[in-house]
Structure 1
Amino acid sequence: MPQNTKHTYIQIHPADNALVALTNLSAGTVINFNGEEFTLVTPVAMKHKFTVGPLNIGDEIFMYGVLVGKACEYIPKGAAITTENIKHAADGFKLGSRKTDWTVPEMASAYKDRTFLGYHRADGSVGTANYWLVIPLVFCENRNINVLKDALSAKLGFAKPRGYESEVDSLIEMYQSGKTAADILNADLQTSPEGQGSKKLFENIDGVKFLTHDMGCGGIKTDSDALCGLLAGYITHPNVAGATVLSLGCQHAQAGILQDEILKRDPNFSKPLVMLEQQKMGTETKLLHEALKQTFTGLIEVNKQERKPAPISKLCIGLECGGSDGFSGISANPTLGYISDILVSLGGSVILAEFPELCGVEQEMSDRCATETQALKFMDLMRTYNARAEADGSGFYANPSPGNIRDGLITDAIKSAGAAKKGGTSPVTAVLDYPEKVTQPGLNLLCTPGSDVESTTAEVGSGANIVLFTTGLGTPTGNPITPVIKVATNTAVFNRMPDILDINCGTIIEGEETIAQSAARMLDYVIDVASGVKQPKAVILGQDDFIPWKRGVSL
């Protein structure tokens, strides 16, 4: 990563005509760039960008070596670029020549013989965890899922012990003793020590996960079919030992469709699977009694499974970002890209998703596809998705959130150019449409929204048994069955939100660590998490986020 010696600003790519401020820069700051000195004419906030030459209306702005915007008013040399003076712009794309040459990181050889302790499945995959799933085929069964959760979690020792009941007790005590609202608001609530909870009954099972959703019927049939594919991805997932599925009976998402999707992903499927239909069974009591008995006996069986060594080629890592900032593309995301290249070189799989955040780098990604067929599929998915979004009144250009913009990602192309760095430099071996499953090693492109939870949900459904999730603003996102490792792009957010963040890449911004050094530290942590030696914060907190994608609705 090119760096200024004082670590105050950098040029990311030699073709860029905008620099990134690594710290707050005041108007009048002298910039030494390419042997020339000039003075900032406006303040530039940390993570934001400023021009290295004057720009007239229509002039192009480049970052990461690609077009990311155009000036919509005159911008003097040394001025901050903002949402007021530039607008989103990105280059077009077409089928080009294959550009699949790449350099394997030198560090890869150090991990060639590394292993992790995982759960070996009959289909050859290896899980980084061992869960039982309880899921509804339709939202009508959500209440019954929650009844089963209330009945099973605490008794089996899987309930998270940390709650805020003691704090509520303190509030009640203050109210009953006559304290005013002002007294209560000014009170310092004491957090009680975390309890131990009940001892786990089944030591080799990481948990029983109860998923709910608002789909399965009442919407368009393609969404319910996609839901069945997603749920099949979770049931056949290497981190899942068995599942209980509740169906009402009359919904679009039929049990037969789910079973077909399961066999599509695993023709020799042999995991314990409990399928119960309420309209056939009659009363709720009959349904829930049968669900309890069959789930419990299934747990007895899968508790016999134990962790055994596996090569790290059995890892499938989902690459995700959320709450991104102006440092994402120069610290945490390139670190994930470095890890991606290491894993691919060793025969592992990685998933790069969030298609709205590949806007502007379509040419590069399509050229990296191993075959023209995959390149054409990628381009078609990008065009179709953007067209659907525009038909609903919001194209890819509207992807950056207020938080992204506040912290330096002021156009979708700027955000996308940095987000794409998570995918490293290796060739694209497969392009997948949601909710397809990863079947090949290497870099897989998966069509998902940019929305954090929907995209993470989809990556896991496609087979990710670890997710690396970068964030500059801080987000608690997790997943019910796959460990989500939260990577901070800057030290400030890492120190401010230590309860939800696992790894700090702000050391790169501060010049204390190279991307390669950060990647080695992170990959060692990934192996520990995959082995069950360490737990990421999202797992400790029970952050079980699960949102299926309603196609075309979300960016």
Structure 2
Amino acid sequence: MVEEVKRTFLHIHRADNVLVTLTDMAKGTFIEHEGVGFTLADDVAGKHKFTLTDLAPGDEVYMYGVLVGKASEYIPQGGVINTHNLKHAAADFTLGNRKLNWVKPDVSAFLNRTFMGYHRADGSVGTANYWLVIPLVFCENRNINVLKDALLDKLGFSKPRGYENEVDQLVSMLHAGKTVEEILQADLEMTPEAGISNKLFHNIDGIKFINHDMGCGGTRTDSDALCGLLAGYITHPNVAGATVLSLGCQHAQAGILQDEIKKRDANFSKPLVILEQQKLGTESRLLHEALKQTFAGLMQVNKQQRQPAPLNKLCIGLECGGSDGFSGISANPVLGYLSDMMVNMGGSVVLAEFPELCGVEQELSDRCVDDATALKFMDLMRTYNAKAEAAGSGFYANPSPGNIRDGLITDAIKSAGAAKKGGTSPVTAVLDYPEKVTQPGLNLLCTPGSDVESTTAEVASGANLVLFTTGLGTPTGNPVAPVVKLSTNTALFNKMPDIVDFNCGTVIEGVETIEQSAHRLLNYVIDVANGDIKPKAVLLGQDDFIPWKRGVSL
């Protein structure tokens, strides 16, 4: 837990032997901490770490109270840690005793709050109401796009702002004889934002057309997992109905998809159109049937309206991407506090990205409600890392160049901060991809650390809203679940207001406590769940969708 915010640096945990800078600090700066004084041996950029003591090669480095690396060379007191002097290291883990006691946050201000959602026959509640059009195999991607071109504008669903007007300006400058230099220096007039015009189905938030490159040609394991993933989307509370196009001969058979749907909802009753091209014959017949049956389904689900629902009907996905050195001390702990609030109210949260839980396995496994759940988590972590190691890229290779540049030197440093999103509550379930959330509380879902693959999977497991922390900025969204971006620092919030929704940099600045920021965030979440606020990713039409091929992806 963060102990205190100081003007220039932070000591996150009493067991840590490094401090985190909150601003750029010059070599020779005098540091006084807990009665010890010394000078910085190096320039230290904001978000990076410097040592409290001299470290010899092999000495262990602790951050967030856990082992995050070992010195690979001598580091003087006040020296900056970097990729040259610190190597990834993480503590081993074993089956331990259950540690299920936790301090439940005060949720009295939210106990009687509700959100306006779409109630489904299986008891779930959606924060949006979409119709899906999806292929069972990549061969149908073109036909999906044809349906998109035919339906979207005619039914009055708005598109994100295009840049056709800017292209027209460039063409006009070319015809006017402008030089390359003049064009590069020109200020283009931006296209006005497009609004919704002549929307035909007012209770439907949109039709979402999804493409992917799977369904055949890979392993049967991957095609079966794809069917499970797509079934997760079809049965998702934010989805009112779906149209599925199949070629017919692929590995991902319609029958497998239907079996996966039944696993998730035995009494499935949503409108579902499945059309097989090889049975119907011509492309035109396939598309005519798809248009008619999709239109009829839209007429049916347009009768659905938002109704009040308790907050425990929210299933929140916890995600991060483009993380920086502030992620683990601002946005992620804010998300962790909100996670604990949701669990205390009977809701469910999903923590994924298993490569970014490396080094905190012992804590998380000890928090599992029983030994069987702990063993499942430990087995998934070991199996996943072993596959990565066999491919020459273990969990140690997870941090991206952007992560490293902004202070996340090892995977264990990144993981210790990323795990803060999961708060402190017990782990009620461990899910293997693409299993569905069936229990309230904190669920651990095995996914890659890649943010789009992980977000895609969290939504398939049932997350009807995703909270996504970022320190560097990323546009990631999802076709059916609103993705809310939380900045770890105010500079990013001000720099990228077109993709970031909420600022947690106030915690770094001492303007808000983690608890205050979490309360403000939950009020924001309720507005999003109501449909009153549309996150930037929704406004931009950022419909990212990448299924996980069960090979190694970090």
8 Å Cα contact 2:160-2:539 kept in structure 1 = no
> 1:192: how far off?
2.4
Contact 2:5 2:508 in 1 (8 A): no
CA distance in 2, matches of 1:37, 1:313: 49
Question: In 2, are the aligned partners of 1:9 and 1:19 still within 8 Å (CA)?
Answer: yes
Q: For 2:215, what is the secondary structure of its paired residue?
A: coil
Letter in 2 for 1:401: S
Shift of 1:299: 0.1
Superposition pairs for residues 78-117 of structure 1, below 5 Å?
78-106=78-106, 108-117=107-116
For residues 210 and 390 of structure 2, the distance between their equivalents in structure 1, rounded to whole angstroms, comes to 32
Residue 390 (structure 1) shift: 1.1
Structure 1 partner of 2:371? 372
Post-superposition Cα deviations, 1:93-148, rounded to whole Å, max 9, x if no partner, equal 00000001001112x12111110000000000000000000000000000000000
Which residue of 2 is the match for residue 160 of structure 1?
159
| Residue 428 to residue 204, structure 1, CA distance change in 2 (3 Å) | same
Contact in 2 for aligned 1:161/1:197 (Cα 8 Å): no
Please identify runs of 4+ aligned residues in structure 1 that moved more than 4 A: none
**Aligned-partner Cα distance in 1 for 2:58–2:391:** 27
Partner of 1:28 in structure 2? Answer: 28
Which residue number in structure 1 is paired with residue 149 of structure 2? 150
Determine the C-alpha separation between the residues in 2 that align with 1:413 and 1:32. Answer: 27
Using the size of structure 2 for normalisation, the TM-score is: 0.99
Residue 200 of structure 1 and its aligned partner are, at CA, apart by 1.1
Structure 2: how far apart are the matches of 1:194 and 1:212?
26
The 1-side partners of 2:105 and 2:227 are apart by 39
CA–CA separation in structure 2 for the residues paired with 1:419 and 1:553: 20
Question: What pairs with 1:253-332 in structure 2 (closer than 5 Å)?
Answer: 253-332=252-331
Q: Distance in 2 between matches of 1:58 and 1:419?
A: 25
Find the aligned partners of 2:21 and 2:193 in 1 and give their Cα distance: 41
Name the residue aligned to 1:452: 451
**In the aligned structure 2, how far is the partner of 1:8 from the partner of 1:40?**
13
| CA distance in 1: counterparts of 2:253 and 2:157, whole angstroms | 30
Deviation at 1:161, TM superposition (A): 4.9
Tell me the secondary structure at the aligned position of residue 132 of structure 1: strand
CA deviations over 1:491-534 (Å, ceiling 9, x no partner): 11111000000000000001111000100110000000001111
Secondary structure of the structure 2 residue equivalent to 1:259: helix
C-alpha displacement of 1:85: 0.3
Q: In the alignment, is the contact (CA less than 8 A) between 1:320 and 1:353 conserved in 2?
A: yes
Secondary structure at the aligned position of 1:478 is classed as coil
Of the structure 1 ranges 32-41 and 12-21, higher mean CA displacement relative to structure 2 is found in 32-41
Is 1:177 the equivalent of 2:172?
Answer: no
Q: In the TM superposition, what is the alpha-carbon distance from 1:229 to its structure 2 partner? A: 0.1
Matched ranges for 1:489-508 at <5 A: 489-508=488-507
**CA drift at 1:198:** 2.4
Q: Is the 8 A contact 2:463 2:481 kept in 1?
A: yes
Match of 1:239 in 2: 238
Structure 1 residue 194: Cα displacement: 1.3
Partner of 1:53: 53
Displacement of 1:2 after TM fit? 2.0
Counterpart amino acid of residue 494 in structure 2: N
Q: Who is 1:195 aligned against? A: 194
SS at match of 2:424: coil
C-alpha deviation, 1:393, in angstroms: 1.3
Q: What is the CA-CA distance between 1:197 and the residue it aligns to?
A: 4.3
Partners of 1:90 and 1:196 lie apart in 2 by: 51
Query: Helix, strand or coil: the match of 2:356?
Result: helix
Supply the distance in 2 between the matched residues of 1:161 and 1:33 (Cα, whole angstroms): 51
Contact 1:385 1:552 in 2 (8 A): no
State the alpha-carbon separation in 2 of the partners of residues 399 and 435 from structure 1.
Answer: 22
Cα contact 2:316–2:349 (8 A) shared by 1: yes
Aligned to 2:122: 123
Task: Kindly indicate whether the alpha-carbon contact (under 8 Å) linking 1:369 and 1:428 is maintained by their aligned counterparts in 2.
Answer: yes
Paired amino acid for 1:510: E
Query: 1:159 offset after TM fit, Å?
Result: 3.4
Letter in 2 for 1:505: C
1:408 aligned partner: 407
Q: List gaps (5 residues or longer) in structure 1.
A: none
Partner of residue 11, structure 2? 11
1:366-410: CA deviation from partner (whole Å, max 9, x where unpaired): 000001000000000000000111111100000000000000001
Distance 1:19 1:256 in 2: 56
Tell me, in whole angstroms, the C-alpha distance in 2 between the residues paired with 1:90 and 1:138: 40
**Partner secondary structure for residue 215 of structure 1:** coil
C-alpha contact 2:226 2:252 (8 A) present in aligned 1 = yes
Residue in structure 2 matched with residue 213 of structure 1 by the alignment: 212
Q: Amino acid of the residue matched to residue 92 of structure 1?
A: D
CA distance in 2, matches of 1:197, 1:310: 27
- TM-superposed deviation, 1:65: 0.2
**What is the total number of aligned residue pairs between the two structures?**
553
Map of 2:67 onto structure 1: 67
Cα 1:161–1:454 shift into 2, 3 Å: closer
Q: Aligned partners of 1:441, 1:404: CA distance in 2, in Å?
A: 32
TM-score for the superposition, normalised by structure 1: 0.99
Between the aligned partners of 1:258 and 1:202, the Cα distance in structure 2 is 28
Instruction: Judge conservation of contact 1:56–1:75 (CA < 8 Å) in 2.
Output: yes
Distance 1:205 1:38 in 2: 62
Contact 2:158 2:195 survives alignment (8 Å): no
Does the 8 A contact of 2:322 with 2:474 survive in 1?
yes
- Alignment partners' CA distance in 2, 1:27 and 1:4: 22
The alignment partner of 1:305 has SS state of: coil
The CA RMSD measured in Å over matched residues stands at 0.7
1:79 match: secondary structure: coil
2:523 and 2:194 map into 1 onto residues whose CA distance is 30
1:554 aligns with 2:528: no
**Inter-partner Cα distance in structure 2 for 1:102 and 1:131:** 38
* SS at structure 1 position matched to 2:61: strand
Question: What SS does structure 2 have at the residue aligned with 1:145?
Answer: helix
Query: For 1:308 and 1:4, how far apart are their aligned partners in 2?
Result: 42
CA deviation string 1:407-434 (max 9, x = no partner) = 0001000000000000000000000000
| Partners of 1:382 and 1:223 in 2: CA distance | 19
- 5+ residue gaps, structure 2, are none
Does the aligned pair in 2 maintain the 1:3–1:9 contact within 8 Å?
no
Rounded Cα–Cα distance in structure 2 between residues aligned with 1:366 and 1:531? 35
Answer whether contact 1:155 1:198 (CA < 8 A) is retained.
no
